[in-house]
Structure 1
Amino acid sequence: MTTTPGSEADGAKPGRVDPTPEHFRRLHPLTPLLRGWGFLALAIGIGGQDALRSGEMGRFGLTALAFAVVGMIAGLLSWWFTRYGFDGDALRIDSGMLNRRSRRVRLDRLQAVDINRPLAGRLLGVSELRLEVAGGGKAEAPLQYLAVDDAVRLRAELLARAAGIDADTPEAPERVVHEVPLDRLVWSTVLSGAFVTGVVFIVGIGVALLFFRDSEVTVGLLSSMLPGVIAIGAALWAQLGRNFAFVLAESPDGYRIRKGLLDTQHQTVPPGRVQGVAMRQPLLWRGKGWVRLDVDVAGYSGESSDDSQRTSTLLPVATYEEAAEVLRQVLPGSDPLSVPLTHAPRPARWLRPIGWKKLAYGVDDHVVVVREGVLYRNLTTVPHAKTQSVRIVQGPLQRRLGLASVHVDTTPGPVDAVIAHRLPAEARAIAEEQAERARLARKTDVPEQWMARYRQQSAPRPDGHADGDSHPAASSERDQE
């Protein structure tokens, strides 16, 4: 929620924002330095080339210095007028010198809490706290920057308040579920499609150089290697750089992910916030028996494609057995890999000549499962309670062949459940039944204050034993109020 000048708040004069409470805190004092360097980079980018051509390096130095000073002043003013704190059941962030802005992040809408440490932040000992909320188009009110310890404490307090327990409860202990070995991560990068394509492209250009001795042709061929170099670099960064030292852990707060080589990320996804999971297996990974797991999490959907890929990875690479175990933990009460599947009808072969027999779907009491792919295999799982809508889509060729596809929609993201190429009567039945399953499942979905479930499960019975087997040590620590 954003309050701007001109809106009315309870107890405030019309057209004015509520005054910032005295107990609200400011960001880390080094924030102006981290924000101000962007002005210096802009000056170097704009005037650096002209200065090199004209030789007027003295004037360029003064210009760059002026930009740096302006950036520091702007950053200092932004830091001074930005304060944050808790206001009832929301985290409130006030900012702006001339145009005052007050943002309130409702904790019952909290989907995930991330701590990111860019390389410059790691050198200076600061972190960025990002809040993802339901229905948010992007990270809501990121706090740039906090001291590392302050960021960890604030994350623990946010999760505790959102879970309905004492705000002073320390961060819950965790159990490591999976760690990705470095050698496996390296080999999965080497066997990725982008990396192999880049290597083949460069090798092909290298072979062509053996047959051409003309200098102009050689220069042209060398410059054409750039796309291959870019492809290799992108593959190395997307898989190896981002997922370096990848750790997936489980705690009463949710699933925690730690990863990153230069920029490190600490991501926490509360229980029940996973909207869908996709198990993917590229062709070159098949010989190793490796797969990856991607998830949809509400709140991440509005980010850029680059950020979405960064925040949607549940496991970058794992064996089939390891991924299956994590899949069962993320979707409790269901085993998507054992759900019976129904195959597509024979007319589907005209639209999917290769792999139409792999088109299949199935349901159980908790999830809908969709399988597809021959070279690149996908198994998509969507909990009934997380179904946003169900659509029947029929293109012109499908109409000619008497087929239709059913889309089971979750929040926008990498997980896309499409039951492709079904007979129209079957498609209508699938859509109606899935809509009814979703309606019934939402009645028993995980409550907004999810820690109530752990308190109930760990509450002592009359015989002196705890009820349930869900993390008794973690629950007892979290429930000291």
Structure 2
Amino acid sequence: MGQNALRNPAPISIYLAFGFGFAVLATIAGAVSWWFTRYGFDGDALRIDSGVLMRRSRRVRMDRLQAVDVNRPLVGRLLGVAELRMEVAGGSKSEAPLKYLSLDDATRLRAELLARAAGIDAETPEAPERMVAEVPLRRLVWSTLLSGGFVLGVLLITAMLVALALVPSQARAGILAPMLPGLLAAGYALWTQLGRNFGFTLAESPDGYRIRKGLLDMQHQTVPPGRIQGVLIRQPLLWRARGWAEVHVDVAGYAGASAENATRTSTLLPVAPLAEAMEIVRQVLAGVDPSSVELHPAPQRSRWLRPIQWSRLAYGAGDKIVVVRDGRFTRRLTVVPHAKTQSVRVTQGPIQRRLRLATAYVDTTPGPVNAIIRHRPPEEAFQFVEDQAERARLARKTDIPEQWMVQHASRVSQGNTDGDVHKDASNE
């Protein structure tokens, strides 16, 4: 029977029918789930009830709210709906995503959530914004073509095509299979840099930095004020000729350790001139300039462990930040504010012990920013850890966490006060 099935495969119409039936069932299940989802405010928390057979009630406390993002997948854009994602402190994933609301309702609910989290009137309109940076399409395309993943994929495909032209026709089938990794690498780089960051804009507002991007799935993300734990300025090899760099951040409250989630939430600027990127970093760090911190190079014996990039290894500690420089082909500058330091530690491998070297770590929330001070003399590494722990302790005492929309709330309050005074005067 099995041999007959292989000789006489089922018509393609059967597979199409199964696929269509599955799509219909998935659509019905999604519609039923949406129909039974209800939300509303219960005191100082947003309550979300969902589920058909097994009901589930979740509450998102306003004092734990870290971020509120509006996402519009391709199908949602066609239907005019959006998804609201809420991130809370200590969560392991997006807490209680609301799928789906109309775009107007999602925008209105987002503004109300931010207002309640700031402790101001829930009817306060969305805060105004100021455009900070916009990535032109031409620059984004060139940055994609010059990315390492895309170039590697193109080289692999080119090598395979040359091999196909040189080998006999009987051997070509065995060469086509190794082309798949090259196609995947090129396609992933194309989508990650170009597809996700299409139409990228960065704006500043009282509720944080607002990011809008996406070709198929549009994402409206807000990087909250005071939640940025670290900054990474990254400059790939092929970008340096054009003077470009990208900026990534660790944001408290953005949960999930997957690479996809990290890429989605960590990019503050996908590509920009280095001077523009550094200026935005200074704004994020409340005026602190990383280039003003004196850096201390690694000892020459570290070249046995980092023969190419040992001369790039350096670090420094200023009054408010720790700066770490590394990378030869892809240059990296990592910045961590003292107040955001969560832990410090020292490690020493067997080869490091032979060379009298050690590595110090400044840990923040999970994300792309990793402040690793590699290959220092052990006494220097341990002294740095002790000093950094003290700097972090003192910085947390004076650090005042920023609240959602504080500046906007004060302006609105002042405006209402002025309006009341004017009305009373007119009545008199």
Cα distance change, pair 58–352 in 1 and its aligned pair in 2 (3 A): closer
Q: Is the 8 A contact 1:138 1:299 kept in 2?
A: no
TM-score when scaled to structure 1? 0.81
Q: Which amino acid aligns with 2:138?
A: D
Q: Is the 8 A contact 2:94 2:255 kept in 1?
A: no
Q: Which amino acid aligns with 1:99?
A: M
Alignment: residue pair count: 414
Q: Is the 8 A contact 2:135 2:272 kept in 1?
A: yes
Q: Does 1:274 align with 2:235?
A: no
Cα distance change, pair 216–476 in 1 and its aligned pair in 2 (3 A): farther
Q: Which amino acid aligns with 1:323?
A: A
429-438 or 97-106, which deviates more: 97-106
Q: Does 1:150 align with 2:88?
A: no
2:72 is matched with 117
Q: Which amino acid aligns with 2:34?
A: W
> 1:363 Cα deviation (Å)?
1.6
Structure 1: distance between partners of 2:348 and 2:413? 49
Q: Is the 8 A contact 2:324 2:372 kept in 1?
A: yes
1:87 is matched with 42
Q: Which amino acid aligns with 2:129?
A: E
Structure 2: distance between partners of 1:477 and 1:220? 73
SS, match of residue 210 in structure 1: helix
Q: What per-residue deviation string (whole Å, max 9, x for no partner) do you get for residues 73-113 of structure 1?
A: 53344223321112222222112233332211122222221
> 1:177 Cα deviation (Å)?
0.3
Q: Does 1:376 align with 2:316?
A: no
Cα distance change, pair 223–266 in 1 and its aligned pair in 2 (3 A): same
Q: Does 1:53 align with 2:9?
A: yes
2:300 is matched with 346
Q: What per-residue deviation string (whole Å, max 9, x for no partner) do you get for residues 136-182 of structure 1?
A: 11111111111001111111111111122211111111101000111
Q: What per-residue deviation string (whole Å, max 9, x for no partner) do you get for residues 396-431 of structure 1?
A: 111222221111000011110011111122111111
1:302-313 map, 5 Å: 302-313=256-267
- Root mean square deviation of aligned Cα: 2.5
Q: Which amino acid aligns with 2:287?
A: G
Structure 1: distance between partners of 2:401 and 2:365? 19
Q: Which amino acid aligns with 1:401?
A: L
> 1:445 Cα deviation (Å)?
2.5
Structure 2: distance between partners of 1:475 and 1:186? 45
Q: Is the 8 A contact 2:115 2:404 kept in 1?
A: no
420-429 or 266-275, which deviates more: 420-429
356-365 or 76-85, which deviates more: 76-85
Q: Does 1:197 align with 2:152?
A: yes
Structure 1: distance between partners of 2:95 and 2:192? 24
List gaps (5 residues or longer) in structure 1.
Answer: 1-48, 459-473
> 1:453 Cα deviation (Å)?
5.8
Q: Does 1:231 align with 2:185?
A: yes
Structure 2: distance between partners of 1:76 and 1:293? 39
Structure 1: distance between partners of 2:195 and 2:25? 34
Q: Is the 8 A contact 1:110 1:162 kept in 2?
A: yes
> 1:449 Cα deviation (Å)?
2.9
2:62 is matched with 107
Q: Is the 8 A contact 2:45 2:61 kept in 1?
A: yes
Q: Is the 8 A contact 1:256 1:266 kept in 2?
A: yes
Q: Which amino acid aligns with 1:361?
A: Y
State the identity as a percent. Answer: 66
1:367-446 map, 5 Å: 367-446=321-400
Q: Is the 8 A contact 1:128 1:145 kept in 2?
A: yes
2:251 is matched with 297
Match of 2:237 among 283, 293, 297: 283
Q: Is the 8 A contact 2:257 2:367 kept in 1?
A: no
Q: Is the 8 A contact 2:229 2:364 kept in 1?
A: yes
Q: Which amino acid aligns with 1:363?
A: A
Q: Does 1:217 align with 2:176?
A: no
Cα distance change, pair 266–478 in 1 and its aligned pair in 2 (3 A): farther
Structure 2: distance between partners of 1:204 and 1:56? 35
Q: Does 1:262 align with 2:189?
A: no
1:241 is matched with 195
Q: Does 1:167 align with 2:122?
A: yes
Q: Which amino acid aligns with 1:423?
A: P
Q: Is the 8 A contact 1:205 1:222 kept in 2?
A: yes
Structure 2: distance between partners of 1:83 and 1:419? 49
Q: Is the 8 A contact 2:257 2:366 kept in 1?
A: no
Match of 2:139 among 177, 181, 184: 184
> 1:65 Cα deviation (Å)?
6.2
Structure 1: distance between partners of 2:133 and 2:193? 17
Q: Is the 8 A contact 2:294 2:317 kept in 1?
A: yes
Structure 1: distance between partners of 2:269 and 2:23? 41
2:85 is matched with 130
Structure 2: distance between partners of 1:88 and 1:382? 36
Cα distance change, pair 54–183 in 1 and its aligned pair in 2 (3 A): same
Structure 2: distance between partners of 1:252 and 1:59? 53
TM-score when scaled to structure 2? 0.90
Q: What per-residue deviation string (whole Å, max 9, x for no partner) do you get for residues 219-258 of structure 1?
A: 3333432222222111110101110110000000110000
Structure 2: distance between partners of 1:455 and 1:122? 32
